[in-house]
Structure 1
Amino acid sequence: MSRPSLLGFLLIAPALLMIGVLFLYPLGFSLASAVTAGGQLSLTHFEKAFELYSTDILFTIFVVIVSTILTAIFSIMIAGVLTLSETPWLVAGLRALYRWPLFIPFIVAAQCMRTFLAKNGLMNNTLVATGVLEPLQATSFLDWRGIIITFVWKQVPFVTLMLAGAMASIDRATIEAGRNLGASRPRILCELVLPQVAQTLLVGLVLSFVTMLSVLSVPMMVAGSQPTMLTVDMAFRINSYGDYATANALGVISYALSAVAAWIYLRHNVKREVQA
């Protein structure tokens, strides 16, 4: 190995060591634990995971997919307003407000939503005070709806920030050409702007999908009832029974769901490069 190559390797060695110790080793250990029983290859732990938590697996998929779709819709709307709106106060207001959830940890967001979405929480009290609801009509949103609301509220700023930056880099001549031809703003956004930033949107949504799939605090604090998400089940198997094998099997299922999102992203990338 030449001197420059050795020096470069020594510079990245601490980072490689950290990745190996903190990520690769736990990943390999969890995979091995999930597919072995008594030192032999076995799917026993997966059978147990599906037998006990098949409903929670479907619930997790439902919550994360719906949250991702809503995140995409709201992010496109906000980024579109920031890019295409000609109302200065609206753009300035959105710029000042939409980024705040970025700086709030998930555990803090979950606690805030507990007080906001409860039956006697801030949201219902405000609706009752303004006459929109009667006191007896107030209902708690501390269930799957609360999880989705929390995820969307937390992830929309992240995707919007990426998307608005990509939209800002678009050649304004294409937007002005659409306006000159009489196209409405929604049509310009959907037919001219979005196709040019679809790659950035897909990256943001894949990252959001994986992030929401891995969060423990939100489903545990916002909706403690059944069904629940896989992260809560994994914590329960470990903390209550010390059952690392079944927890690792659930973790592998989460890896598989993340791999599907990664496959969609890579497939889109390959298709894009072939067309180019």
Structure 2
Amino acid sequence: MNEGKVKLTTLLLCLLPGVGYLLALFGLPLLRVVYGSFTSNEAGAAALTLDTWAQLLANPVFTDGLWFSLWLGIAPTIVSLMISLPLSALMQANESSRNLFGTLYKIPLVVPGIVAGFLVLIILDRGGMATRLLAPFGIALPRLVRDEWAIGAIIASAWKTVPFMTLIIAGAMASINKDILAAARTLGAGRLTIIARIQLPLAQPGITAAVLLSFIGSLGSYVIPSLLGPTYPLPLSVHMFDEGFKKGNWPMVYAMGTLLSVMAIAVLLAYYAIIGSLGRSKAAKG
């Protein structure tokens, strides 16, 4: 019995630094945000109230902003994934491609997000560089900046996200045992087969981490949607600052932050469910 207690105590002590760090820097602030969303700025209001949530969910400006926030989180992530997956695979092909693409994809890393936004604005806005270059050929670009689909914001977000996503996915692919790839080639597997049936499944943890980080970053972005997005709807990240922080309405800031977090968790759970379903389907076929 004493030996068991000693082992349990040792285990708890080993977990304390990591668990304590998560609780202190993530758990407690998150609880504070959730608690704050049920408070009110109005004098004489109850200690805990649903008034802030009622104002938030009853206002179509905020609900439209929520769905727009999800769009600005999901769309750049999908675009970045479609670019990062083949780019990461190409980097594993040989030393030359690794050196070439390994240098090119890192260039956006040193460019701040607001600078990336201004670059997209200068190039793709009406009267911008792209419009002037294509005008002599009679080619007119569609509206890509401040349009209703926020195409310019998606391009800028993806441009900044691709390097981070590629860095993670390429690292996951590079960690795959080379003997497995050599054995597949020996058995007659082509390059595309190796990518689809070996590299992508084995790199799935890295791909999931890349998707998670990219989605959260795009979901909470403020600068790029403010600069390149439409005037309506605005994402909740912009409303949090303009309607909450600027006006000192902290309960509304907390409520919007909580709602964004809940929706982010829901999207990520859906992602895990889809990945798990695809994995079970492949296993059943195999």
Length-normalised TM-score, structure 2: 0.76
**What CA distance in whole angstroms lies between the structure 2 residues aligned with 1:40 and 1:30?**
15
Question: Could you say which residue in structure 2 is the equivalent of 1:242?
Answer: 248
Aligned to 1:54: 63
Over 3 Å counting, the alpha-carbon distance change for 1:138 and 1:262 in structure 2 is: closer
**Partner Cα distance (2:153, 2:28) in 1:** 31
Q: After the TM superposition, which of the residue ranges 237-246 and 142-151 deviates more from structure 2?
A: 237-246
- Deviation of 1:124 (Å): 2.9
Moved more, 118-127 or 45-54: 118-127
Matched-pair contact (CA < 8 Å) for 1:219–1:229 = yes
In structure 2, the partner of 1:179 is 185
Which residue of 2 is the match for residue 82 of structure 1? 91
Q: Indicate whether 1:94 and 2:101 are aligned.
A: yes
Deviates more, 1:90-99 or 1:120-129: 120-129
User: What secondary structure is seen at the aligned counterpart in 1 of 2:75?
Assistant: helix
1:142 pairs, out of 137, 141, 145, with 145
| RMSD (Å), alpha carbons | 3.3
Asked whether the 8 Å contact 1:72–1:156 carries over to 2, the reply is yes
Aligned mate of 1:67, from 64, 68, 76: 76
1:225 maps to which of 225, 228, 231 = 231
Contact 2:75 2:154 in 1 (8 A): yes
Q: Which AA in structure 2 matches 1:54?
A: T
Deviation at 1:262, TM superposition (A): 5.7
Q: Do the aligned partners of residues 25 and 191 (structure 1) sit closer, same or farther apart at CA in structure 2, a change above 3 Å counting?
A: closer
Distance 1:265 1:140 in 2: 31
Deviations 1:13-72 (A, max 9, x none): xx96xx95x766654443222113413432221222122211111111122112212222
Q: Indicate if the aligned counterparts of 2:153 and 2:224 stay in contact, CA closer than 8 A.
A: yes
State the alpha-carbon separation in 1 of the partners of residues 79 and 142 from structure 2: 22
Instruction: Describe how 1:106-185 pairs up with structure 2 within 5 A.
Output: 106-128=113-135, 131=137, 133-134=138-139, 137-143=140-146, 144-185=150-191
In the alignment, the residues of structure 2 paired with residue 249 and residue 240 of structure 1 have an alpha-carbon distance, to the nearest angstrom, of 15
Distance 2:176 2:85 in 1: 15
Q: Which moved more, 1:143-152 or 1:235-244?
A: 235-244
Aligned CA distance change for structure 1 residues 237 and 25 (closer, same or farther; 3 Å): farther
Q: Which runs of 5+ in 2 are unaligned?
A: 1-9
Question: Deviation string for 1:92-130 (max 9, x for gaps)?
Answer: 33121101112222222222222122122233333345x
Q: In structure 2, what is the Cα distance between the partners aligned to 1:39 and 1:32? A: 13
Shift in Å, 1:178? 2.9
Instruction: Say which SS state the counterpart of residue 78 (structure 1) adopts.
Output: helix
How far, CA to CA, are the matches of 2:133 and 2:245 in structure 1? 39
- After TM superposition, the structure 1 = structure 2 runs for residues 233-272 of structure 1, keeping only pairs within 5 Å, are 233-238=239-244, 241-260=247-266, 263=269
Contact 1:206-1:261 within 8 A present in 2 as well: no
Q: Deviations over 1:129-183 (max 9, x none)?
A: 5x3x53xx23331131111111111111111111111211212232233333443
* Residue 207 of structure 2 is aligned to residue 198 of structure 1: no
1:186 and 1:125 map into 2 onto residues whose CA distance is 40
* Number of aligned residue pairs: 257
Contact 2:69 2:237 in 1 (8 A): no
- Structure 2 distance, partners of 1:186, 1:122, is 37
- Give 1:214's aligned residue: 220
Any idea what the Cα deviations from partners look like across 1:173-231, whole Å, max 9, x if unmatched?
Answer: 32233333443322211111111110111011111111112221111111241112111
TM-score normalised by the chain length of structure 1: 0.79
CA distance 1:194–1:115, change in 2 (3 Å): same
**8 Å contact from structure 2 (residues 84, 169) kept in 1:** yes
Structure 1, unaligned stretches of length 5 or more?
A: none
Aligned CA distance change for structure 1 residues 240 and 61 (closer, same or farther; 3 Å): same
- Aligned partners of 1:116 and 1:122 also within 8 Å: yes
Over 3 Å counting, the alpha-carbon distance change for 1:243 and 1:224 in structure 2 is farther
